[in-house]
Amino acid sequence: MPHFIAEYTDNIEQQADLPGLFEKVHTTLGASGVFPLGGIRSRGVRLDTWRMADGKHDYAFVHMTLKVGHGRDLATRRRVAEKLFEVITAHFAPLQAERLLALSFEMIELHPELNFKLNNVHAFLNQQAN
């Protein structure tokens, strides 16, 4: 954990530079000292069927979610979420200056008992470091 998910409208796929966004997200989360690098994952979900507002203009949106494991206090989660939203808004600023674009972001803390994981990437990264 965490998992970063960006749902985006199909009309901005070429301009959104999601690989660049994901690189910034991983750098930010890794540097936060809150999340181990081996658990950070990002993915984009292209929306081919959607409608926004009155449907009369070339609107676009990106809704982003960061799912995190249980156990970090609210102040820590808020600090990370605010920093990540700064990174997100800076990334999309040039595109938002050119077109109608709505950005939204939420952090979701997963249930402490109903969240299951099996990951061998942590051990691999530790082995690579040694």
Residues marked as catalytic: 2
Measured N-to-C along each axis, helices 74-98 and 18-31 cross at an angle, to the nearest 10 degrees, of: 160
> What are the residues facing 5 on neighbouring strands?
43, 65
Secondary structure, 3-state, 34-92: CCCHHHCEEEEEEECCCCCCCCCCCCCEEEEEEEECCCCCHHHHHHHHHHHHHHHHHHH
Taking the CA atoms of the chain, what radius of gyration do you get in angstroms?
16
Walk across the sheet containing 102-109 and list its strands: 41-47, 3-9, 61-68, 102-109
